[in-house]
Copies of this chain bind each other. A is one copy, B any other.
Amino acid sequence: MTAVASKCRVCRQPAIIDLPRHNANFCGEHLLQLCRRQVEKAIADHDMLSPDDRVLVAVSGGKDSLAVWDILIDLGYRADGLYLGLGIGDYSDESAGYARRFADERGLILRMLDLRDEHGYDVPTAAQVTHRVPCSACGLSKRHLFDQAAREGGYDVVVTGHNLDDEAAVLFGNTLRWDVQYLARQLPVLPAGDGFPKKVKPLVRLTEREMAAWCIVRGIDYQVEECPMAAGNKHLAYKAALNAIERDSPGSKAAFYLNFVERMAPLLSGAEHSGADGLRPCSVCGSPTTGEICAFCRLKERVAGQPRVPVEVLLSKKRRTATAGGV
C-alpha cells in the first residue's frame, strides 16, 4: 500500500490505496466501507451467518483471521476466537502474541490451545515422522480441533479467514488436476451435518492486499511473516501464476473464483461424495469418522511421544532438498 497521488472514488479526499480490479482508489474510511460491504454481501449471498449465531473464529494471528474477527464484531456478530499453537518455533510464539494482544485490547474472548501441551506433538515433528509435507498434518489438526471446539463449545458456525487469493489458488490447484470431488466441495460455505459444524469464509470477496490495508487502517498489529513451513509449496506457486494474470487483466482472479461459485459449482453438485453414509463416532475421541479411529487420532497415536523435531531441523532439510531438486 503506497501513497497514491490520487483521490478517493467516494469522497475525493487523498487516497491511500488503488484497487485496479475496481478501477478506483480509496481513502482509509472508504476502504473500510468497501471491505464491510463485501463481507456483508458474501454473508448474504451464501447465507453464512444469522444475527443470533454463536460464532467461533479460527485465529492464527495473521492479517486475515484478525481482520475477519474485527469485521464480524464491527458488524454486530457474537464472535469468540480460538488460537491453536502448532509448535512452529518462534513463528508460533509470535503469532500467539499477536492474537492474544488483539483480543485483550478489545475485550474479546480468545481460547488458546496448544498441540504439544494437549496432544503431545507439534507440526514439524508430525511432518518428520509421517514423511509428508507439514501443511498436511497442520490442516488435519486444525480441521479436527476447530470442529471439536465448536461442537463442545456450542458454537453454531466456524469462521475462517480464507481470502480471495487463498480460495483462487486452491481452486487453481484443484482445476489443474480437475479433481472433481474437491472442486464440488470448494464453496464459501460448508453446511453443518453428520456431527460437523457449519464452516464459512466471509472474506472470499476480498484480497490479501485489502486485508492488509484493513489491518493497517484499523491499527491492528499482525504476524506479517509467512509460515516458514509453507515456503516453496505449490499453493504459493499457484498464487504467483494467478497474480501474473491479474496484473495483465485486473479482475481476472475475482472472476475466476466468483464465476466458479456461481456457474460451475451448481453443475458439480452431487459429485461431492461426502462419504457421510458410513460415519460413526471415533472409538478414541468420539468425532465422526468413516473408520474405527479418526485420522486425527491415528496421527496423534503415531506422532505423540516421538522425539521432538525442532523447526530449524526440518527447514534445513527442506533447503537441502530444494537445492538438490534445483540441479
Contact = CB atoms under 8 A, between A and B. Distances in A.
Interface of A: 175-178, 180, 234, 237-238, 240-242, 244-245, 248-249, 252, 255-256, 259-260, 262-264, 267-268, 271
A144 to B, nearest CB: 29
Nearest to A263: B178
Nearest to A178: B259
Contact of A255 (B177, B241, B262, B264): B177
A264 B256 CA distance: 17
A283 to B, nearest CB: 36
Contacts of A264: 178, 180
Nearest to A232: B248
A246 to B, nearest CB: 10
A252 B271 CA distance: 23
A92 B288 CA distance: 66
Given A176-B256, A180-B264, A267-B268, 20 more contacts: A175-B256, A176-B245, A176-B255, A177-B255, A177-B259, A178-B255, A178-B256, A178-B260, A178-B262, A180-B263, A237-B244, A237-B245, A237-B248, A238-B245, A240-B244, A241-B241, A241-B242, A241-B244, A244-B244, A267-B267
A261 to B, nearest CB: 9
Contacts of A177: 255-256, 259
B180 A252 contact: no
A234 B249 contact: yes
Contacts of A263: 178, 180
